[in-house]
A and B are shown apart, each in its own frame.
Chain A
Amino acid sequence: MGILEVDISGRVGNFTIVAQFCARPGVTALFGRSGAGKSTILKMIAGTVRPERGRISSARRVLFDSDAAVDLPPRTRGIGFVFQEGRLFPHMTVRRNLTYARWAGGRRGERRFDEVVALLGLEKHLNRHPATLSGGERQRVAIGRALLAEPEILLMDEPLSSLDRERRADILPYLEVVASQARIPILYVSHETDEVAQLADRVVAVEGGKVRAIGTPAEILRHDRQDGGEPVSILEGRVTERDERYGTITAMAGGATIELPEDALAVGSHVRLRIRASDVAIAITPQAGLSIRNQLAGTIETVERFGTFAEVTVSVGSERIVSRVTSKSADALGLVAGKPVFALVKVVSVEHGRLLRAD
């Protein structure tokens, strides 16, 4: 299936949006802090906010073109939209909500109702009303409802932000499955590094209404410093070993061997690892007598200083790991580009998610 192409500009209040990017089948995250204009861009694609100039097109149709005076209403844009607050119809059962696009929207397609229901684990809830569902269940219904609209593009506006941490962790695997099966572009708006790191194939970083950078999650998150946030290194790899006794696994990622806590994943599974820059220490010699089990030999690529802190990017095989140390230690250890070092990462500070798409 096709590509969503966006090249728009427009003012909303006294805020200017300028966005140019394209989204292939898979998950493209619109990433940026609250108020950066991510949701407005999404609404412009959905047709609920009108850009001033530009063009938006999907595989099968032109959704908006200011030169050709094309501006399709939301209902004919072939989209599925998952709202932050779910927006389920309170007077309908889950089943009626899920099938709304079919009986009220006239959408038909090959996606089977039973499959979507099973995918999202909604079998037991079909005859309930939204008010009796938990927040996580409601959001799953909202996702199912959008999928059953047979969208050519799926738009998700911070679908997890109304949920608490635990529920978020509950629903992320469902999103992961949806993403892995999608043959359509999914635009996923979020300001959460973890969600983006876990779900996105590509990231469009948005700042002040404009696209700041486009790249892989690893490329974008490695340099993310917004909102006092810290860079996160993303490594993709395969599980090579399991230690049943201690409940850890070892993953190979681009030449780096990393141990992490996990007791469910089988050998051979694809994982995406996340390591925060402040969880990485640097040593110039291999260390003994230390509890830190991940000692990754590499070479310093760059050292960037931000006053008290310095961010050291170490290339380990084909991957890169960012470490945040004090400028004082950087000087004390003589950290400069080209120097061979060891990146030290505690097993417990490696976060991960299974990557179904690569399986």
Chain B
Amino acid sequence: MSGVEIDILLLSAKVALAAIAFSLVPAFAVAWLLARRRFAGRALLEGLVALPLVLPPVVTGFALLLLFGARGPLGQLFENLFGLTFAFRWTGAALAAGVMAFPLIVRPIRLSLEAVDQGLEEAAATLGADRMVVFLTVTLPLALPGLLAGAVLGFAKALGEFGATITFVSNIPGETQTLSLAIYALLQSPEGDAAALRLILLSIVLALGAVLASEWVARSLAKRLNDGNP
């Protein structure tokens, strides 16, 4: 692998990891609300979460540009509060990837939370545990497979995000040019095919590795939960 390829890979990993790291907690919170609470506006929240999945990525990217761009209301807010800018930065690529991956992270977490037997939480309460302790000792561990599945799925999605990213933060080598953007750029140039092919193979290996790893993690977790003896 060439130095450029390694840089592209590291940048992609950085973007995808940042995307997951910052969306996991809000995704869990949203999944919990959808799985456990009945409230006004629940359907609206549900639709909002699914939106990036059904909207053309270009539209999502443009919306991000309007909101988080240098002159966007949220962009200015973040710059004033944390000194954080998104426009044409890798942070923007991470934001785009996180938003696009969000529905994919929420869904498995929500499913696993719905599968947690609330009778177990009730049992924990009769044994003296308060709500926080019940959550940490019963709900969270039992929802862990879903959390992991969501993280892996979201990571894979973030790694391959293209449309929203290129619309929001453009295709800047070394800053916002992740794996799929680099492949796209190479395919645009007349003699880039060979280099593109190498990156394509790399991304196949990465994707396959992620899927196998998540399978393995899910299976060993399920084993621990179901027939004991880890």
Q: Which A residues contact B (CB, under 8 angstroms)?
A: 46, 48, 73-77, 79-81, 83, 85, 87, 89-91, 93, 100-101, 104-107, 128-132, 145-146, 149
B117 within 8 A of A: yes
Q: By the criterion CB–CB under 8 Å, are B129 and A129 in contact?
A: no
Residues of B within 8 A of A90 (CB): 120, 142, 225-226
B83 within 8 A of A: no
Contacts known (A87-B117, A87-B119, A104-B133); A74 close to B126, Cβ less than 8 A: yes
Contacts known (A91-B141, A104-B133); A129 close to B227, Cβ less than 8 A: yes
**Min C-beta distance of B141 to chain A, whole Å:** 5
Residues of A within 8 A of B141 (CB): 91
CA distance A107 to B124 in the complex (A): 12
How many A-B pairs have beta carbons closer than 8 Å: the answer is 82
Majority secondary structure, B binding face? helix
Q: Which B residues contact A (CB, under 8 angstroms)?
A: 117, 119-120, 122-130, 133-134, 137-138, 141-142, 224-229
Contacts known (A79-B126, A145-B127); A89 close to B228, Cβ less than 8 A: no
Residues of B within 8 A of A87 (CB): 117, 119-120, 122-123
Contacts known (A83-B123, A85-B119, A87-B123); A131 close to B129, Cβ less than 8 A: no
Residues of B within 8 A of A101 (CB): 127-128
Contacts known (A85-B119, A87-B120); A107 close to B127, Cβ less than 8 A: yes
Given contacts A48-B122, A89-B138, A100-B129, 12 further A-B contacts (CB under 8 A): A77-B126, A85-B119, A89-B120, A90-B142, A91-B142, A101-B127, A105-B124, A105-B128, A128-B228, A129-B227, A131-B225, A132-B227
CA distance A197 to B130 in the complex (A): 37
Q: By the criterion CB–CB under 8 Å, are A129 and B229 in contact?
A: yes
Which listed residue (A80, A85, A131) contacts B227, Cβ 8 A?
A131
Q: By the criterion CB–CB under 8 Å, are A73 and B129 in contact?
A: no
CA distance A355 to B133 in the complex (A): 40
* Chain B, Cβ-Cβ closest to A148: B127
Residues of A within 8 A of B137 (CB): 89, 100, 104
CA distance A43 to B125 in the complex (A): 13
